[in-house]
A and B are shown apart, each in its own frame.
Chain A
Amino acid sequence: MKKRLTNIALSASITATYMKAKLRQTLVATAGVAFGITVFIFMVSFIQGTNEYTQDVVFQQSPHLRMYNEVQIADQSLLDRRFPGVINQVHHQKPKDILLNLKDVNQVLDELRADPRVQAASGAITTQVFFRLGSSSLNGKINGVDLEREDQLFNLSGKVIEGSYEEVNVKTNSILMGVGLAKRLNVTTGDQIIITTEKGGNFAVIVVGIFKTGLTDIDKQQCYASIKTVQKLLGVPASYLTEIKVKLFDKELAPEMSGQWQARYHYQGSDWKKDNASLLEGDVLRRMIVYGVAGTILLVAGFGIFNILTMMIYEKMKEIAILKATGFSDSDVRGIFLTQALVIGAAGAVMGLVFGFLISYAVSKVPFNSDVMITLDHLPVSFKPVYYITGFTFGILTTALSGYLPSRKAAKMDPISILRG
Chain B
Amino acid sequence: MNVLEVANLNKYFTEPVRNQVLKGVGFQVEAGEFVAITGKSGSGKSTLLYLLSTMDTDFEGSIMINGEQMKGKTNRWLAAFRNQHIGFVFQFHYLLPEFTSLENVMLPARKLGLYPKDQIEQRAMDLLKLLDVESQAAKRAALLSGGQQQRIAIARALINDPSIVMGDEPTGNLDSANSATVFGLFKELAKERQQTVLVVTHDEDFARRADRRIYMADGQIMEG
**A residues within 8 Å of B by Cβ?**
2-3, 6-7, 10, 14, 17-18, 20-21, 318-319, 321-332, 415-416, 419-421
The answer to whether B186 has its CB under 8 Å from any CB of chain A is no
The 9 closest A-B pairs by CB, nearest first: A327-B83, A329-B79, A21-B98, A6-B113, A326-B108, A329-B76, A322-B94, A327-B82, A416-B56
| Number of chain B residues close to chain A: CB under 8 A | 31
Residues in B with CB closer than 8 Å to A325 are 53, 55, 82, 88
Residues in A with CB closer than 8 Å to B88 are 325-326
CA distance A198 to B108 in the complex (A): 95
> Do the beta carbons of A328 and B168 come within 8 Å of each other?
no
Subset of 16 A-B contacts with CB under 8 Å: A10-B113, A318-B92, A319-B97, A322-B95, A322-B96, A325-B53, A325-B55, A326-B88, A326-B107, A326-B111, A326-B156, A327-B82, A327-B84, A328-B83, A415-B55, A419-B90
CA distance A81 to B92 in the complex (A): 102
> Do the beta carbons of B79 and A332 come within 8 Å of each other?
yes
The answer to whether B75 has its CB under 8 Å from any CB of chain A is yes
Residues in B with CB closer than 8 Å to A416 are 50, 55-56
Residues in B with CB closer than 8 Å to A7 are 111, 113
Given contacts A18-B98, A328-B111, A329-B76, contact A419 B82 (CB under 8 A): no
Given contacts A10-B110, A318-B94, A330-B79, 15 further A-B contacts (CB under 8 A): A7-B111, A7-B113, A10-B111, A17-B99, A18-B98, A21-B98, A319-B97, A322-B90, A322-B95, A326-B107, A327-B160, A329-B79, A419-B94, A419-B168, A420-B46
Query: Within the complex, what minimum Cβ distance (angstroms) separates A192 from chain B?
Result: 90
> Do the beta carbons of B112 and A327 come within 8 Å of each other?
yes
Residues in B with CB closer than 8 Å to A330 are 75-76, 79
Given contacts A3-B113, A415-B55, A419-B90, contact A329 B80 (CB under 8 A): yes
Residues in B with CB closer than 8 Å to A2 are 113
> Do the beta carbons of B56 and A17 come within 8 Å of each other?
no
Query: Within the complex, what minimum Cβ distance (angstroms) separates A314 from chain B?
Result: 15
Q: In the complex, what residue of chain B is closest to A3 when comparing beta carbons? A: B113
Q: In the complex, what residue of chain B is closest to A318 when comparing beta carbons? A: B94
Most buried by A among B92, B107, B168: B107
Residues in A with CB closer than 8 Å to B107 are 10, 14, 323, 326
Q: In the complex, what residue of chain A is closest to B95 when comparing beta carbons? A: A322
**B residues within 8 Å of A by Cβ?**
46, 50, 53, 55-56, 75-76, 79-80, 82-84, 88, 90, 92, 94-99, 103, 107-108, 110-113, 156, 160, 168
Residues in A with CB closer than 8 Å to B168 are 419
Q: In the complex, what residue of chain A is closest to B107 when comparing beta carbons? A: A326
Residues in B with CB closer than 8 Å to A21 are 98
CA distance A327 to B99 in the complex (A): 17
Q: In the complex, what residue of chain A is closest to B77 when comparing beta carbons? A: A329
Residues in B with CB closer than 8 Å to A326 are 82-83, 88, 107-108, 111, 156
Residues in A with CB closer than 8 Å to B76 are 329-331
Query: Within the complex, what minimum Cβ distance (angstroms) separates A23 from chain B?
Result: 11
Query: Within the complex, what minimum Cβ distance (angstroms) separates A267 from chain B?
Result: 71
Most buried by B among A3, A10, A331, A416: A416
Given contacts A324-B55, A416-B50, contact A6 B84 (CB under 8 A): no
Q: In the complex, what residue of chain B is closest to A22 when comparing beta carbons? A: B98
CA distance A16 to B43 in the complex (A): 43
Residues in A with CB closer than 8 Å to B90 are 322, 419
CA distance A419 to B55 in the complex (A): 10
Residues in B with CB closer than 8 Å to A420 are 46, 50
CA distance A21 to B99 in the complex (A): 10
Query: Within the complex, what minimum Cβ distance (angstroms) separates A321 from chain B?
Result: 7
Query: Within the complex, what minimum Cβ distance (angstroms) separates A282 from chain B?
Result: 54
> Do the beta carbons of B108 and A327 come within 8 Å of each other?
yes
CA distance A14 to B99 in the complex (A): 9
CA distance A419 to B84 in the complex (A): 20
Residues in B with CB closer than 8 Å to A14 are 107
Q: In the complex, what residue of chain B is closest to A419 when comparing beta carbons? A: B90
CA distance A20 to B140 in the complex (A): 13
Residues in B with CB closer than 8 Å to A329 are 75-76, 79-80
Residues in B with CB closer than 8 Å to A419 are 50, 55, 90, 94, 168
> Do the beta carbons of B113 and A328 come within 8 Å of each other?
no
Query: Within the complex, what minimum Cβ distance (angstroms) separates B184 from chain A?
Result: 24
Residues in A with CB closer than 8 Å to B99 are 17
CA distance A3 to B83 in the complex (A): 14
CA distance A10 to B82 in the complex (A): 17
CA distance A114 to B56 in the complex (A): 81
Residues in B with CB closer than 8 Å to A421 are 92
Query: Within the complex, what minimum Cβ distance (angstroms) separates B175 from chain A?
Result: 21
Given contacts A7-B113, A326-B107, contact A319 B55 (CB under 8 A): no
Most buried by B among A20, A318, A325: A325
